Amino acid sequence: MTRYPVIDGHNDLAWACRETRDYAVAGLDGAVPTLHTDLPRLRAGNVAGQFWSVWVDPVLEGAEQVVATLEQIDFVQRFVNAYPDQLRLVNTAAEAREAMSSRRIASLIGVEGGAQLGGSLATLRQYARLGARYLTLTWSRTIDWADSATDTAQHEGLTDFGRGVVREMNRIGMLVDLAHVAPATMRDALEVSERPVMVSHSAAWALCKHNRNVPDDVLTSIGERDGVVMVAFVPSFLSEERRLWVEAGQEGAAPPVGISDLADHIDHVREVAGVHAVGLGADYDGTDAMPVGLEDVSGYPRLFAELERRGWNESELLGLGRDNVLRVLEASDGDYRDFIAGNAGDPEPLVIAPAIDTTTLKEG
């Protein structure tokens, strides 16, 4: 946490520990080579804060999605409670700054997918009460009220219910996360939201035509609305050659992707959205491969060294690593505090999303 502390927008440790460790938190204060993430490597990477993603595989449906989300929130809470000298569960930017000042990693929660609401705004509110500060509107599948970037569009963006979800998120202080959603959904959400939005883990479509990446007009809009785009480290998001190799079936050796490829995307977001609107959301433990030199969470200092070489100054690098996302979080902190205190007023009368025909949906 010395020169350039990082608050990363997206880490899938919770699901990885479900799959490989039966949600065990013991031993994460030592080396865990089967994961990208453990406490010693977080320290080595100058990670000062982390949005821990709570994601659910869509093979689970309905109430199973909600149960698995609660299990992962429980994992994050138990993880923090197991190592109170190194981690602190926080809900606001002020609490994050307090945690960092005491040299503990500020731990926040983000819910990765609107399907995890089960179509109910009451579920959204309960996640917020449990500490979740962002919701990714979709994951890789189109849902009842929003189109995904990696599935067949059914709504041309957000439905009326989906717009109501965004308004309710503004009311209760949850950040609208536009990772994974279709460009039409991004544009609809930006039209509706009265608070700055985030993209927790995507890259720039202009440099790599992956459907998960963000087009320039949306980057511009996010910057104009004081939001933040947290650039992912996923190799197929960063390199067109790597994307085509993956889509062709991964035959032969993988085209190499390195720190310079990631830095190119960060530079592009800076150029289009503004230096105030760029952050980092690596997606560690959410994908198998990472760029050379960034194989695990200890690698962030090497990225900062590359950006220094490219002429980024200290203030800009502090913004990239920490300050930009804290500004976006802080813009909704008052709404969140009012909601938790019971002072946010009544929600609008949207309770259950109408179902759609899911027979044509495919895995993203």
Place of tokens 């569960």: 89
Residue 353 confidence (pLDDT): 58
Q: Are 290 and 235 in contact (CB under 8 A)?
A: yes
Task: Determine the topology of domain 6-340 in CATH.
Answer: TIM Barrel (3.20.20)
DSSP run (H or E) holding 228 = strand 228-231
What is the C-alpha separation between 225 and 237, in angstroms, rounded? Answer: 24
pLDDT of residue 1: 43
Asked whether the predicted pLDDT for residue 201 surpasses 70, the reply is yes
Which residues 6+ apart lie within 8 Å of 209 measured at CB? 240, 243
Average pLDDT over residues 84-108: 98
CB 130 within 8 A of CB 316: no
Q: What is the pLDDT of residues 120-155, one digit of tens each?
A: 999 999 999 999 999 999 999 999 999 999 999 999
Is the pLDDT reported for residue 358 higher than 60?
no
**pLDDT (tens digit per residue) in 272-327:** 999 999 999 999 999 989 999 999 999 999 999 999 999 999 999 999 999 999 99
Q: What is the pTM of this model?
A: 0.94
Above pLDDT 90, what percent of the chain? 93
**What is the residue whose two structure tokens read 């609660």?**
70
Q: Tell me: the pLDDT tens digits for 5-37?
A: 999 999 999 999 999 999 999 999 999 999 999
Contact 277, 269 (CB under 8 A): yes
Per residue in 32-50, pLDDT (tens digit) is 999 999 999 999 999 999 9
Which of 42, 62, 54, 51 is CA-nearest to residue 18? 54
pLDDT of residue 354 exceeding 90, the answer is: no
Q: Helix axis angle, 160-172 relative to 121-129, nearest 10°?
A: 20
Q: Write down the mean pLDDT value for the chain.
A: 95
Q: What Rg do the C-alpha atoms of the chain give, in angstroms?
A: 19
**What does the pLDDT look like over 223-246, one tens digit per residue?**
999 999 999 999 999 999 999 999
Flag whether pLDDT at 169 surpasses 50. Answer: yes
Beta carbons of 293 and 299 less than 8 angstroms apart: yes
pLDDT level of residue 179 (50, 70, 90 thresholds): very high
Q: How would residue 362 be classed by pLDDT, with cut points 50, 70 and 90?
A: very low
Of 346 and 361, the one with more pLDDT? 346
Statement: residue 104 has pLDDT above 70: yes
53 pLDDT above the threshold of 80: yes
Residue-level pLDDT at 364? 34
Q: Provide the pLDDT confidence category of residue 348 given band limits of 50, 70 and 90.
A: confident
